[in-house]
Structure 1
Amino acid sequence: MKPPPPWKGWSCCPENWVMSNTSCYFISSELNNWTESEKNCAGMGAHLLVINAEEEQLLILQILEREFAYYVGLSDPKGTCQWQWVDQSPYNRSITFWHPGEPNKHDERCVFINSRKGIWGWNDAFCVETQKSICEMMKTYL
């Protein structure tokens, strides 16, 4: 009898991480700039959050606190409006959640999620600002 495909077996996430269908998420309570936030995620075998679907955005919003902003893995390293995800997945303009009027400055090259008047969205920001962050990794299948 052959074993079931890996996605049908047991899966898990590290302790204190939130599990979804395919990923594990960690909400960092530390305030760091974007680069340090990505380094901290990498140190845990993860990367800053990459949002590829509306369902993922909606899932994440359920576990965030409205009074904080959270870095995600989207940046514009050269300030040319060429947005890139840290995992090299394509930036899809049809799956974006920018606040109205964002992105608005070429020298704001990093992105965080925040709530404005009760509505969550993406905001471009200076990469040196300190914010909380969201790390993501694939679930481990056993």
Structure 2
Amino acid sequence: MAVARHSDNIEVQDEDQDDINYENETTVTTRRTNVEMSEEGHYERLDLQKKDDAVYEDLRTKTRKHKGLPKKIRQSGNSASQPVGSKVASWSCDIVKVGLGLLCALLLAALIAVTVLYMQTKDPTDMENQKILLQKNLTETCTKPCESGWESDGGKCYLFSSNKYTWELSRNDCTLEGADLVKIDSKSEQRFLQGKLMEKMAEAEDKFWIGLTDSKEEGKWVWADGSPLLTELSFWSPGEPDNWNDRNKRPGGQDCARMGETGALEDTWFDAFCDIPHKYICEKQADSGKRVCVSI
């Protein structure tokens, strides 16, 4: 019996020892596992850190390259990567701009239509008055080729004097004005001058001296500048020149020419006594540097 109990105790002790060994092995295994897990976790963290470092380095490289690009390329790249909200906002701005442009165009068209309608319904008399006023302003403000008091025609300026002098004094007065007694070179000039005289003559004998004389040689008529009178460009009144000597009271006769007739345009020249005072016509070239007023 004692032997049997002893063997039972031995078996119990062996089982207890086995349990202790099992627990020790389990603890060691658990520790080893924990160590291994800890090491693996460490390794994983190292791998993640390496990956993060690689991604960060890649971003830095891309950033440096991006900064090195021209501004327009960077802007195009940024616009491609803009958020949807930013693109929508940009489209909204574009739509607003287009809308404002259309609104301005409509307002301009409406303004033009109102102006045209106003011009169509405007009183024609008022428009004509405005045109006359505009022409008057242009005439008053533009530069004339002749001084005030002179008449312009055919590139020449004419002064119709209201004073009465002898032929010689009349010529001197014209000279003081930078002119000379008129020299008539054409039928159109004769008609222009005679037309003006019919407006200015107060009576039949209210005639004007012209620059024509035969005082140096009887019957040989010359102009004040010394040029001879051409037969085809002479406009003597019928029966003139007659060199009347007033019944021998003036033996020298009539040696200077005057013009003026109340009812004719061409043949209006008469010879007269040079010392009788008459009005006169001065003539000079128009200033070519001045503009002529033109009506519109």
Whether the 8 Å contact between 2:255 and 2:271 is mirrored in structure 1 is yes
Aligned to 1:119: 264
Alignment correspondent of 1:42? 175
Which amino acid counterpart does residue 90 of structure 1 have in structure 2?
P
Larger radius of gyration: 2
Query: What are the within-5 Å matches in structure 2 for residues 12-27 of structure 1?
Result: 12-27=145-160
Amino acid at match of 1:21: G
User: Is 71-80 or 47-56 further displaced after alignment?
Assistant: 71-80
Among residues 168, 186, 208, which one is paired with 1:53 in the alignment?
186
Alignment of 1:103 with 2:241, yes or no, is yes
Q: 8 Å contact 1:79–1:108 — kept in the other structure?
A: no
Do the aligned partners of 2:256 and 2:274 also contact (CA within 8 Å) in 1?
yes
Letter of the 1:119 counterpart? A
Is 2:136 the counterpart of 1:136? no
Deviations 1:78-97 (A, max 9, x none): 24111010123331011111
Counterparts of 1:139 and 1:11 in 2: how far apart (Å)? 9
How far does residue 39 in structure 1 lie from its aligned partner after superposition? 0.3
User: Aligned equivalents of 2:188 and 2:158: distance in 1?
Assistant: 14
- RMSD (Å) for aligned C-alpha atoms: 1.6
The aligned counterpart of 2:226 is 88
Q: Secondary structure at the match of 2:226?
A: coil
Structure of greater relative contact order (alpha carbons < 8 Å, 6+ residues apart): 1
The offset of 1:77, in angstroms, is 1.5
Distance 2:280 2:196 in 1: 12
Compute the displacement of 1:119 (Å). 2.6
Which structure carries more helix by proportion?
A: 2
Describe the SS at the equivalent of 2:188: helix
Q: Structure 1 residue 74 and structure 2 residue 212: aligned?
A: yes
CA contact (8 A) 2:166 2:275 kept: yes
Distance 2:147 2:212 in 1: 24
Distance 1:55 1:89 in 2: 20
| Partner AA of 2:185 in structure 1 | N
Task: Kindly indicate whether the alpha-carbon contact (under 8 Å) linking 2:194 and 2:261 is maintained by their aligned counterparts in 1.
Answer: no
CA distance in 2, matches of 1:89, 1:15: 29
Matched AA of 1:92: L
CA contact (8 A) 2:158 2:283 kept: yes
The count of aligned residue pairs is 132
Structure 2: stretches of 5+ with no match in the other structure: 1-142, 244-251, 290-296
The 3 A distance-change label for structure 1 pair 125 and 79 is farther
CA drift of 1:11 comes to: 6.6
Q: Tell me, which stretches of 5 or more residues in structure 1 are unaligned?
A: 1-9
State TM-score, norm by structure 2. 0.43
Q: Is the 8 A contact 2:212 2:221 kept in 1?
A: yes
**Other structure's SS at 1:29 match:** coil
